[in-house]
Chain A
Amino acid sequence: MRRNIFLTGATGTVGSELLRRLAARDDTTLNLLVRRTGYDRRPQIDYGLRGVRVAATLNLFDGDLCDGDALGLSPDAFNSLTRTTTHVIHCGGSTSFALPLAESRATNVTGTARVLRFAQQCERLESAAFFSTVYVSGMRRGIFAESDFGDAGNGFVNSYERSKAEMEEVVRAAIADLPILLFRLSTVIGDSRTGTVHGFNALHHAIRLLYQGLAPMVPGMPSTPVDMVSSDYVAEAALHLIDNQAGCGVFHLASGERAAAIGDLLSATIESLMRFRPTWRKRSIEKPLLVDLDTYELFVRSVEEAGNDVLRNATRSIRTFAYQLAHPKVFATRQTSEALADSGIAPRPVLQFYPQIVKYCVESNWGLQRC
């Protein structure tokens, strides 16, 4: 039976990975909600699909998660989509850590509520998948299970985390009515086979600051886990679960107990930069220090008081996520592992492919040049 998939966020890190895989299916119609920008988004979609043998029917709909209950769609388009859609995959949203909370909420909470209402009106709906983050756990420490929700009163590091936690509350409220799959992603760093990065995020920016010698210290212990996964794992796991999972569920697409330690990651970063940019060695940049939170905050405060804009901005951008390192946690993946048990899909140990990610960052100049 032909699938009609309504996909948001198709140009994002995860959405673009899903798009490449779904576009190759000949039993699928893909209806993409692409944000209205005033220019034709088709070339961007086509660029994302380079190398893919497109077999699916592809339709682009101009819209916006923040543009009213109809998601900025025309009444005809909205009605047509609710009649035909069998699957909703909602990847759209803001992943910026630095936005004011109101702006994060507008996209991630209100926008998701609108997608839910759209899903509730879909006459043939089989599944609705929503993408969240494991960092809805905020500043909790210890083990965060798939059955856990929110920060448990520990607070959040940034507006992104808080808005995603609030988004989950909205999604949970709809679970009684809809076949919802909730995917919580850890930090998606790129393709484990090629090193290609489709969406540069805070982690890649941190690698750039280290490359530039502007990251003197981060909070944490050498053994502090940093959960990261590849974009190909996330896409393959999510699609497998969308295709095969019956009913509702929450899944952590994370490395879990196999997450790399920050000390090893910093060493791997330095080694990779030296390997892939031999001239970088001349700059004699030291590995960032791992310090306790008090020391880190004292440094941040000093830079805020006296630093110039470049150093201040560098420190601020690290600060938007660095506090997570001072609240170490492990994202349990039991439910996901069980659901994927027979699929052969599992996250690769990050340190096996991390150097390729660093290489891609350097060679693409963090996305400014095409590799």
Chain B
Amino acid sequence: MPTTRLLEIDSDFHLLDMTADSGYDIGIDAVATYLPAATASLAELAMRGLLRGSVETLSSFGFGQVHLAGEQSNFQMAMHAAEKLFSENDIDRDEVGAILYSTALSSSATMWNPPRRKLPGDGVLRLDEIDDLFKYPASRLQSELDLPRASVVGINQIGCASTFAALRIARAMIAGEEDLDAVLCVSADKFPPGEPRDLVYNVISDGASAALVRRNATRNRIVACTQVTKGALWDGGSLENEIVAAYFPTAKSVIDRTLSKARLTIGDISLVIPHNVSARSWEILGKLIGCPPHLIYTENIECVGHTIASDNILNLETATAEGRISRGDYLLLFTFGYGLNWACMILEH
């Protein structure tokens, strides 16, 4: 029986699914993540010369340890996350009509797996490595996961907001294409080996995530989403102060806009699913948006760190597993990525 679609385009040309009860629900039906087994504490990172800031300060910001991919590539981490998604959930592989492979780091968008040590001599790439730059993980993922019906698209250039963009685009694709029912969103990022792991008060972990966005989802209906880009702050290296200063006012503005689109207030939100940046920053942002600390799921900040684009999926997965979320709960997901991008999404679990 055909379903009735009630879609609305808001002033920012966001597609709003207004049919909460109509059966036309696009949502994140399944999630899975992968974290490398190897970990390093802040003290160990400091000993290896992988921290610029002090252990004490970063510890006071809520960080404890990170996961390190070592010799594993981005692709291998992505495969682990995607395989876990399929093994733990009832998904017909023929159902997946598209793969959105999102990455934050430019290097993650190819098969290039930089060596642990710097290249000898003048550091010029070897020919086989240049060749790797033209090998794309999305296609290989489609092949190795045996998803022959899935076309692939790469999403990058929006930093840690990449996964949000993938979810948003997946939702729009499903809403716009009648023959598309499920999109696999995969993200994996491996921080360049040998580089300090603390970046703008955050400590970076390696990791990957996979999410299935599905028509008629049984959970996590995407109620509203917003992404704001401030291109004037594209140069993260030289504009760090301006970026830090812009973070809070814009974050509050984006969250308020998303709540407004969803016709909700912060009081309707059962749990905030954050990105794993400093717990201190969430303490401040929580005050700004009027959300008490116990409704912000910051449990993974200390033990995982900031996995770049996979934090929110990881936190959604563990919060669900821990029973922190009940059916019908409204969840507010928020992240921030270089570029400069702020993104917020509200789900109905």
Dominant secondary structure of chain A at its interface with chain B:
mixed
**Cβ B246 vs Cβ A311 within 8 A:** no
B232 near A298 with CB under 8 A, answer no
Asked whether, in the complex, the Cβ of B241 is within 8 Å of the Cβ of A314, the reply is yes
CB distance from B75 to the nearest CB of A (A): 34
Residues 210-262 of A at the B interface (beta carbon under 8 Å): 212-217
Q: Within 8 Å of chain A (Cβ to Cβ): is B240? A: yes
CB of B250 within 8 Å of the partner chain: yes
**Contact assessment for B230 and A311 in the assembled complex, using a CB-CB cutoff below 8 Å:** no
Quick one: given A305-B57, A306-B201, A310-B241, are A289 and B284 in contact (CB under 8 Å)?
no
Q: Smallest CB–CB gap between A96 and chain B, Å?
A: 23
- Contact check, A217 vs B232: say whether CB atoms are below 8 A apart: no
Binds B, one of A62-70, A101-109, A277-285: A277-285
- Give the top 5 A-B pairs by smallest Cβ distance, nearest first: A286-B249, A295-B287, A311-B241, A216-B245, A213-B242
B125 within 8 A of A: no
- Specify the chain A residue showing the minimal Cβ separation from B285: A295
Docked complex Cα distance between A302 and B202 (Å): 12
Question: Chain B interface residue count: which class?
Answer: 20 to 34
Closest to A313 in B: B241
* Contact flags B262-304 to A (C-beta < 8 A → 1, else 0): 0000000000000000101101100110000000000000000
Docked complex Cα distance between A213 and B287 (Å): 21
Chain B nearest CB from A298 CB (Å) reads: 5
In the bound complex, CA of A286 to CA of B246 (Å)? 7
Please indicate which of the listed interface residues B232, B244, B288 has the most CB atoms of chain A within 10 Å of its own CB. B244
* Contact residue among A291, A305, A310, A311 (Cβ-Cβ distance under 8 Å from B287): A291
Neighbouring A residues of B278 by C-beta, 8 Å: 302
Residues in B neighbouring A36, C-beta threshold 8 A: none
Q: Does B247 contact A (CB under 8 A)?
A: yes
B143 contacts chain A at the CB level, 8 A cutoff: no
Size class of the contact patch on chain A:
20 to 34
Q: Provide the residues of chain A in CB contact with B61, threshold 8 Å.
A: 302, 306
- A289 B249 Cβ-Cβ under 8 A: yes
Contact call B245/A294, Cβ cutoff below 8 A: no
When distances are taken between beta carbons in the complex, the residues of chain B under 8 Å from A284 are 230, 232-233
Query: Which of A212, A217, A282, A294 makes the CB contact (< 8 A) with B249?
Result: A217
Asked if A199 CB lies within 8 Å of chain B CBs, one says: no
Given A282-B232, A308-B241, is A287 in contact with B249 using a C-beta cutoff of 8 Å? yes
Residues of B within 8 A of A288 (CB): 249
A-B contact pairs, 30 of them (CB 8 A): A214-B241, A214-B242, A214-B245, A215-B245, A216-B244, A216-B245, A216-B247, A217-B248, A217-B249, A283-B232, A284-B232, A286-B246, A286-B249, A287-B249, A289-B249, A291-B287, A291-B288, A292-B287, A294-B287, A295-B284, A298-B280, A299-B248, A302-B201, A302-B278, A302-B280, A302-B281, A305-B57, A306-B61, A308-B240, A310-B241
Main secondary structure of the interface of B (DSSP, over half): helix
A302, closest chain B residue (CB): B280
Given contacts A214-B241, A289-B288, A298-B283, contact A306 B246 (CB under 8 A): no
In the bound assembly, the distance between CA atoms of A298 and B246 in angstroms comes to: 16
Q: How far is the CA of A283 from the CA of B229 in the complex (A)?
A: 11
Q: Mark B231-260, 1 if CB is under 8 A from A, else 0.
A: 011000000111011111110110000000
Residues of A within 8 A of B (CB): 212-217, 282-289, 291-292, 294-295, 298-299, 302-303, 305-308, 310-311, 314
Given contacts A283-B232, A289-B288, contact A305 B248 (CB under 8 A): no
Name B19-67 residues within 8 Å CB distance of A: 53, 57, 60-61
Q: How far is B242's CA from A310's CA once the two chains are assembled, in angstroms?
A: 10
| B252 contact set on A, CB distance < 8 A | 289
Evaluate contact between A302 and B250: CB separation under 8 angstroms: no
With a cutoff of 8 Å between Cβ atoms, the chain A residues found around residue B247 in the complex are 216
Query: Which residues of B are interface residues toward A (Cβ below 8 A)?
Result: 53, 57, 60-61, 201, 230, 232-233, 240-242, 244-250, 252-253, 278, 280-281, 283-284, 287-288
The answer to whether B241 touches A302 (Cβ under 8 A) is no
Instruction: Kindly identify which residue among B232, B253, B284 contacts A299, using a CB–CB cutoff of 8 Å.
Output: B284
Number of A-B pairs, beta carbon distance below 8 Å:
71
Name the residue of chain A whose CB is nearest to the CB of B250: A286
Instruction: Check if B241 sits within 8 Å of A306, measured CB to CB.
Output: no
A215 to B249, CA, bound (A): 10
Chain A residues positioned under 8 Å from B201 (CB to CB): 302, 306
Chain B residue contacts of A214, Cβ below 8 A: 241-242, 245
Q: Contacts of A303 on B, CB cut-off 8 Å?
A: 244
**Chain B residues within 8 Å of A305, by CB:** 57, 60
**A-chain residues with CB within 8 Å of residue B250 when the two chains form the complex:** 286
Establish whether residues A285 and B240, one from each chain, have CB atoms under 8 Å apart when the complex forms.
no
A213 touches B245 (CB 8 A): yes
Closest to B200 in A: A306
Q: Contact between B57 and A306 (Cβ–Cβ < 8 Å)? A: yes
Could you tell me if B242 and A212 are in contact, using CB atoms closer than 8 angstroms? yes
B45 to nearest A CB, angstroms?
16
Q: What's the least CB distance linking B281 to chain A, in Å? A: 7
Cβ–Cβ < 8 Å partners of A217 in chain B: 248-249, 288
Q: Determine the chain B residues whose CB is within 8 A of the CB of A311 once the complex forms.
A: 241, 244-245
The answer to whether A286 touches B284, judged by C-beta atoms less than 8 angstroms apart, is no
Contacts of A286 in B (CB 8 A): 246, 249-250, 253
* A254 smallest CB distance to B (angstroms): 30
Sample of 5 further A-B pairs with CB below 8 A, known A299-B248, A307-B241, A311-B244: A214-B241, A216-B245, A286-B249, A305-B57, A311-B245
